[in-house]
Structure 1
Amino acid sequence: MEEIEVRELLPSEYKEWDLLVEKAQPGTLFHTSDWLEICRDALSKDLKIYGCFRKGELVGGCPLFVKNIKGILEVASSNCRMTSYSGPLIKESASSRASKRVQETHEILNPLREFLCKQGFDSIHLTFAPGFEDIRPFTWNGWDSSVHYTHYLNLKENIDSKLSTERKTELKTATEAGLKTRVLNDPETYYSLLSLAHEKQNLEPPLPREFYDRVFKLIQEKNTGYMFISETPEGEAVAAHLNLYGKKCAVIWTSALNPDFAHLSPIALLYHNEFLDLKSRNFEYMNVMAANVPAFVDFIMGFSPELIPYYSVTLESKKYSIAKTLYKTTHKGTD
């Protein structure tokens, strides 16, 4: 095979990157330049997208957010707040032979890994999207690895036959209260619900308002998702899911709830009716990103989802490891 060239993409090449994201099976909205630029701007991060080229054709790559810590450490990560994964991508193999597909994967990932190691980062953390299974070019070369999980709800199944007794009771409660669900792509409604939920805990929303406004703008301009709400018979929105479209799926990206209405089980109603809505539109599954937080797992298990692993790899310099140990020692018991 021809040698792979790895370099940082120019902004003028981001359209080419987005075409790769669209074609690559593990490619997600979180990989697209539109999403990455929202994160860059709203979170004040330095964005770099590295591309892997074979004979001038973009065949792989990886986005990274780079942060300088007090002028001492430079850390790079493929994910950030509210972006659980993106990580490396490679062009889909045309071969039907498993051995050939593995060979092509490694022929792209090995030069990418070597290039990243030469950039002088004190820490590199890459989180692969679900469906990207072969991370051995990293683990075989000294990178640490971790496994994470998400849940898939199979839209080809009958959801009502899979519901737990508790979820059935919650759906009955919501129905008897007269709650309804519908699509409402309104950022003001979403942010109001999000703010209410966090105010009850004396917390700030996890991301600035600008972030959510730009996500809604992206949804509306490019049809990349929708907001589904539960509302009272009087038309008051009491819960919302902000959902993003993926390949053959919808990602239940984030939710917001007015805590005063939690006893009416509007979230259970959202999940159930979203399932029916997406099923009617021929989506294959819902990606319910709630499998890494114990408090959410018990609830979502009431819908009988399939547990799906995805992976991350990390490489740290000795300087970074020492700094991390010192930080943990000096901040022990203060969190």
Structure 2
Amino acid sequence: MLRDFMPGDPMPDGGRFEVREVALDDSWDAFVDAAIGGHIFVHSDWLRVAEAAGAGDPVVMGAYDKDALVAAIVGVRTKGRVHRLATAPLLPHSGMLFRQPLSEQRPRQEAEQSAAWQTLAAELGGFDHIHVSCSPDVTDVREPLWAGWIAHPRYTYWIDLPPDRQQVWDGFERRTRTVIRKAETAGFHVAPASPEGFGALYQSTYPDGRPPVDAQMAQRYVTEACSAGLVEGFSALSPDGDVATTVFFALEEGGSVSQRYAWVAGADPTHRESGASALLYWKVLETTPATHFDFVGANMASIALFKRGFGGELVSYYAMERWNSRWRRLLAKLRG
């Protein structure tokens, strides 16, 4: 419940907050569910999947006002020479989370978030590099910008899924409907997928041999997420039964919201022009019981063009970056 502050009450001050490590338990998950910036990919089960996949050790640092968790920064401590706090590979968001405001007064709401940013940022000096991707709900990043952080705009597409999925189909671009019909006419079809062999398919998606995430790590991720019941997978199969593309979708259920996230995909480049990928996405959009869909990223021109064809809403978010080590930042630039 919102409460009013009296005119003489002090503005929130970062000095009143105590920073402590947050345990990955039910209390944390309850905070995530209610928080500004909360997201399924910072739930304890997803952070444990990232850890088991070898992405790094989960780090959740909280700013507390007495025993009340006010805000938190989430990431993984990655392995390597550079001491880095980052959003885990293959997880779209972590970053900052804030409790719901206690005051109806917008200045006090901003003041508390600013104080929380300041408090938590001051505790990150032990990391050479911080790079965390915040949820789209975190729209005010002025405080870290004023402190010298870099904000990288990122984008994704969201689609609302009404009961009548013909409305979704009608919202597709004509080129997208055309390639879906082409794939169906050619005999491609969609079937449930298992995690076995996904790493090899993921590797083959990138002909230059340089996927953004190590293929073995991607395989471990999918295996762990499937074992935990966090995802469901589908493949588009050729008329001969060959796997043309596979996508694993993260599941979110709770309250009145049911959502699917296009989490990770792999595709055989020999079927690139078949329309199989578009067919797979359409069949999932057509049949899922979810009411919302997130394409999880549209930040490369070719990927954005493909996803735009499904008629979703373009949504922006921020990846926040800071180097605490100047010479390591310079070295990173030299390495490209």
Pick the TM interval, shorter chain: 0.7 to 0.9
Q: Which runs of 5+ in 1 are unaligned?
A: none
Tell me if the contact between 2:202 and 2:215 (Cα under 8 Å) persists in the aligned partners.
Answer: no
> What is the aligned partner in structure 2 of residue 275 from structure 1?
285
**Residue 48 (structure 2) pairs with residue 37 (structure 1):** yes
Distance in 2 of aligned mates of 1:122 and 1:303 = 40
> What is the aligned partner in structure 1 of residue 94 from structure 2?
86
Q: Which moved more, 1:22-31 or 1:209-218?
A: 209-218
> What is the aligned partner in structure 1 of residue 130 from structure 2?
124
> What is the Cα deviation at residue 269 of structure 1?
0.5
**Residue 224 (structure 2) pairs with residue 224 (structure 1):** no
1:325 and 1:220, CA in 2 relative to 1: closer, same or farther beyond 3 A?
Answer: closer
Q: Secondary structure at the match of 1:88?
A: strand
Which whole-Å deviations, capped at 9, do the CAs of 1:240-272 have from their partners, x for residues lacking one? Answer: 111112464211111112223333211010121
Q: Which amino acid aligns with 1:175?
A: E
Q: 1:289 aligns with which of 296, 300, 318?
A: 296
Distance in 2 of aligned mates of 1:225 and 1:74 = 31
1:328 and 1:134, CA in 2 relative to 1: closer, same or farther beyond 3 A?
Answer: closer
Tell me if the contact between 1:87 and 1:126 (Cα under 8 Å) persists in the aligned partners.
Answer: yes
Mapping for residues 207-218 of structure 1, pairs under 5 Å = 207-209=214-216, 211-218=218-225
Q: Normalising by structure 2, report the TM-score.
A: 0.81
> What is the Cα deviation at residue 196 of structure 1?
4.1
Q: 1:197 aligns with which of 205, 226, 239?
A: 205
Q: Secondary structure at the match of 2:187?
A: coil
**Residue 66 (structure 2) pairs with residue 55 (structure 1):** yes
Tell me if the contact between 1:20 and 1:59 (Cα under 8 Å) persists in the aligned partners.
Answer: no
> What is the Cα deviation at residue 293 of structure 1?
0.9
> What is the aligned partner in structure 2 of residue 167 from structure 1?
176
Runs of 4+ in 1 over 6 A off after TM superposition: none
Distance in 1 of aligned mates of 2:134 and 2:44 = 17
**Residue 147 (structure 2) pairs with residue 141 (structure 1):** yes
Mapping for residues 148-187 of structure 1, pairs under 5 Å = 148-156=154-162, 158-184=167-193, 186-187=194-195
Structure number having the greater helix percentage = 1
Q: Secondary structure at the match of 2:88?
A: coil
Which whole-Å deviations, capped at 9, do the CAs of 1:303-332 have from their partners, x for residues lacking one? Answer: 222211111222323xx2233324544x5x
Distance in 1 of aligned mates of 2:40 and 2:183 = 32
Q: Which runs of 5+ in 2 are unaligned?
A: 1-11
Q: Which moved more, 1:232-241 or 1:200-209?
A: 200-209
**Residue 31 (structure 2) pairs with residue 8 (structure 1):** no
1:142 and 1:326, CA in 2 relative to 1: closer, same or farther beyond 3 A?
Answer: closer
Distance in 1 of aligned mates of 2:243 and 2:128 = 46
1:95 and 1:326, CA in 2 relative to 1: closer, same or farther beyond 3 A?
Answer: closer
> What is the Cα deviation at residue 204 of structure 1?
6.6
> What is the aligned partner in structure 2 of residue 23 from structure 1?
34
Q: What percent identity do the matched residue pairs reach?
A: 22
Distance in 1 of aligned mates of 2:36 and 2:127 = 28
Distance in 2 of aligned mates of 1:110 and 1:100 = 15
> What is the aligned partner in structure 1 of residue 305 from structure 2?
298
Q: Which amino acid aligns with 1:112?
A: L
Which whole-Å deviations, capped at 9, do the CAs of 1:89-122 have from their partners, x for residues lacking one? Answer: 1222355554443344334333222333xx4323
> What is the aligned partner in structure 1 of residue 5 from structure 2?
none
Q: 1:324 aligns with which of 307, 326, 329?
A: 329
Q: Secondary structure at the match of 2:205?
A: helix
Distance in 2 of aligned mates of 1:20 and 1:248 = 19
Which whole-Å deviations, capped at 9, do the CAs of 1:64-97 have from their partners, x for residues lacking one? Answer: 3234754xx53322x1322232111122235555
Distance in 2 of aligned mates of 1:208 and 1:191 = 5
Q: 1:315 aligns with which of 300, 304, 322?
A: 322
Distance in 2 of aligned mates of 1:215 and 1:151 = 23
> What is the Cα deviation at residue 195 of structure 1?
4.3
> What is the Cα deviation at residue 136 of structure 1?
2.4
1:301 and 1:64, CA in 2 relative to 1: closer, same or farther beyond 3 A?
Answer: closer
Aligned length: 316
Q: Which amino acid aligns with 2:113?
A: T
Q: Secondary structure at the match of 2:25?
A: helix
Distance in 1 of aligned mates of 2:160 and 2:259 = 10
1:327 and 1:257, CA in 2 relative to 1: closer, same or farther beyond 3 A?
Answer: closer
Q: Which moved more, 1:83-92 or 1:225-234?
A: 225-234
> What is the Cα deviation at residue 210 of structure 1?
5.7
Distance in 2 of aligned mates of 1:89 and 1:271 = 30
1:134 and 1:328, CA in 2 relative to 1: closer, same or farther beyond 3 A?
Answer: closer
Tell me if the contact between 2:63 and 2:70 (Cα under 8 Å) persists in the aligned partners.
Answer: yes
Distance in 2 of aligned mates of 1:148 and 1:204 = 19
